[in-house]
């Protein structure tokens, strides 16, 4: 168990990078989000060479320091190359038991799921958290499918013990419904990285989520 894994219980806003949507670039987005108090960053990059990914991932790891969890989307090899804190994988990526065998027991593995059955299986297979998606319709991920609705979160929350990260179409207007329905934290990509002020947006999301949690 790494110290970082204990941080999973404390996360509110979860940054996923998107170089295609970003106004100021991935490194700037990570720097600003971490400065605002974001305690988990997932490097999600599909459009550059493996060599460049490793270089950028190493820089993100430095920006995350000891304060924030640093995960790599999909690419277990890149996570291993830079000694990231773990990976986030999808249903069609490397199977979770294979990823665990490669990464070891100390690393964090998050898995994307879409319903209660997949959430139960993720927990059974040793996922450290699940990403539940897509909560709302989103144009950020073209193949995400239709939103499952915030009301779907409760049944998943009641079925598993590991933290739930909600993703897909989330913004400041609909965050309350997501957190009230049982999400432990949330991702909002376009709502944050399309902004001119990522630090301010991140801080506002964190304040909002913490306020809603304190009222629950």
Question: Which residue's CB is nearer to ligand 3NM, number 46 or number 124?
Answer: 46
Strands (E) located in 121-211: 129-132, 164-166, 185-187
Question: Which residue's CB is nearer to ligand 3NM, number 140 or number 195?
Answer: 140
Residues that bind ligand 3NM (CB under 6 A): 16, 112, 133-134, 138, 140-141, 144, 167-170, 187-190
**Please, what is the minimum distance in Å from the beta carbon of residue 31 to ligand 3NM?**
20
**Please, what is the minimum distance in Å from the beta carbon of residue 106 to ligand 3NM?**
25
CA dist 8 → 62, 77, 82, 171, 197 (Å): 19, 22, 20, 22, 26
Binding residues are 42-46, 73-74, 93, 112, 138-141, 169, 189-190
Question: Which residue's CB is nearer to ligand 3NM, number 62 or number 137?
Answer: 137
> What phi, psi does 114 have (nearest 5°)?
-125, -5
**Please, what is the minimum distance in Å from the beta carbon of residue 61 to ligand 3NM?**
20
Helix (H) / strand (E) element for 41: namely: strand 40-43
Measured in whole angstroms, how far is the alpha carbon of residue 2 from the centre of its chain?
A: 18
- CA-to-CA distance for 147 and 65, rounded, in angstroms? 34
- CA-to-CA distance for 167 and 152, rounded, in angstroms? 13
**Please, what is the minimum distance in Å from the beta carbon of residue 127 to ligand 3NM?**
14
Question: Which residue's CB is nearer to ligand 3NM, number 66 or number 193?
Answer: 193
């Amino acid at each position: 168990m790494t110290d970082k894994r204990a941080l999973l219980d404390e996360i509110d806003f979860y940054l996923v990078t998107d170089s295609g949507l970003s106004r100021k670039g991935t490194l700037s987005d990570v720097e600003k989000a971490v400065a605002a108090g974001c305690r988990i960053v997932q490097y999600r990059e599909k459009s550059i060479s493996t060599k460049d990914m490793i270089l950028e991932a190493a820089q993100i790891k430095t920006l995350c320091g000891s304060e924030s969890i640093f995960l790599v989307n999909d690419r277990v090899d890149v996570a291993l190359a830079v000694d990231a804190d773990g990976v986030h994988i999808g249903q069609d990526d490397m199977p979770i038991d294979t990823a665990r065998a490669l990464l070891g027991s100390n690393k964090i593995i998050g898995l994307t799921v879409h319903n209660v059955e997949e959430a139960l299986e993720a927990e059974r297979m040793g996922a450290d958290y699940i990403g539940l998606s897509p909560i709302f319709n989103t144009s950020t991920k073209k193949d995400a499918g239709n939103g499952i609705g915030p009301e779907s979160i409760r049944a998943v929350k009641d079925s598993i013990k590991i933290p739930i990260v909600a993703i897909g179409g989330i913004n400041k207007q609909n965050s309350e419904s997501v957190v009230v329905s049982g999400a432990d934290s949330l991702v909002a990509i376009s709502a944050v990285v399309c902004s001119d002020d990522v630090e301010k947006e991140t801080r506002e999301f964190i304040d909002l989520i913490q306020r809603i949690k304190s009222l629950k």
